[in-house]
Amino acid sequence: MATIRKIGVLTSGGDAPGMNAAIRAVVRTALYHNLEVVGIRNGYQGLIEGDLFQMQSTDVSGILQRGGTILKTSRCPAFTTADGRAIAHRLILNSGIDGLVLLGGDGTFRGAGVFFDEYHIPAAGVPCTIDKDLIGTDTSIGFDTAVNTAVEAIDKIKDTAEAHNRIFVIEVMGRDAGYIALNSGLACGAEDILIPEAEERMDDVICNIDFNGRRHKNVHLIVVAEGNELGGGKAVLDSIKKQLPERDVRLCILGHIQRGGSPSQADRVLASRLGYGAVMALINGNTQVMAGMVNGNIVYTPFSQVVKGTTLIPEDMLAMMKALTG
């Protein structure tokens, strides 16, 4: 493998709190090892459009605590085409970039795998997704902040629910993974938690509400992952209203507030370690891998394994969810 002298760094897919901390770590680690760093704006779209700029240490000063990403992000359909990737490859050759550091999720790493198979551009990844659903890491950048944002919001909703004896359906993010719903629901004492990984029946939810009502427990919090099999928060709300028309039921969709905000201490440190780890992978000739955190240590997992599936919620946590809700 050729010596790495200049790396490009981009953020792709959905944003996650801590991306800026990871960018900072990538830039400063590279400069410490006398590498040039090129920032690529708007993800893979920037590779196609040539939206590049030379990065110095001062470019990442004061960004550790900021949410979002200073490099901007996007989803790029053009990069899924052979023509789009060919344009990106020409840009990389013309700019002298020897390797890429990619901050994103499975879609980002899947694109990198295809790109490497065609053009053999070395790349290392950093797991940035609030869903915490990537193989090869115990957690991902943004998850801790997103869960704490959800917990803070649900605690406040619980206050007003108690004031009015209301049922609240609270939808959190998670199209394919229920980690945010599970962890925030457990932390806030939700009476029902509905996630894609666990089979749920609306009849069971109704029975739970009815049982609690008969024992004069009129406040009922239902935390719903947007991708749960019952259809998300609105579908759950409609079913409850139809079957329990006498109950006061409200819906709150937390939405994109879970993506924003200043990253937590845990996400800042995780992002710093994994950004550093990704650069070191390229320096050491370890390419087409994602830097992850397993048992407190940085490990490297090939992109081909990362994109094969998602992490599974441990059975004991699913059992605990059943035991503690209600």
Q: Which residues contact 195 (CB under 8 A, 6 or more apart)?
A: 174, 178, 181, 182, 225, 228, 313
**Residues with catalytic function:** 131
Q: DSSP 3-state assignment of 155?
A: helix
Q: Global pTM? A: 0.92
Q: Which residues contact 77 (CB under 8 A, 6 or more apart)?
A: none
Alpha-helix runs per DSSP H in the chain:
19-32, 43-49, 82-95, 106-119, 143-164, 179-188, 202-214, 233-243, 265-283, 303-306, 315-324
Average pLDDT value for residue range 214-224:
80
**Do 28 and 275 touch, CB atoms closer than 8 A?**
no
What distance in Å separates the CA atoms of residue 56 and residue 33, rounded to the nearest whole number? 13
Mean pLDDT of the chain, nearest integer:
92
HSE-CB at 109 with a 13 A cutoff on CA atoms is 27
**Do 213 and 294 touch, CB atoms closer than 8 A?**
no
pLDDT beyond 80 at 213: no
pLDDT digits (tens, 9 = 90+) for 157-206: 999 998 888 899 999 998 888 999 999 999 999 999 999 888 888 888 88
pLDDT beyond 60 at 147: yes
**Do 101 and 279 touch, CB atoms closer than 8 A?**
yes
Report DSSP state, residue 244.
-
Q: DSSP 3-state assignment of 248?
A: coil
pLDDT tier, 1 (very low <50, low <70, confident <90, very high otherwise): low
Tokens of residue 317, six digits: 């946590």
Alpha-carbon 310 to chain mean position: 12
- Ordered domains of the chain (ranges, CATH): 6-142+263-306 (3.40.50.450), 144-259 (3.40.50.460)
In what side-by-side order are the strands of the sheet with 249-253? 192-194, 220-225, 167-172, 249-253
Query: Measured between alpha carbons, how far is residue 107 from residues 4, 51, 127, 189 in Å?
Result: 25, 21, 11, 33
Average pLDDT value for residue range 254-277:
96
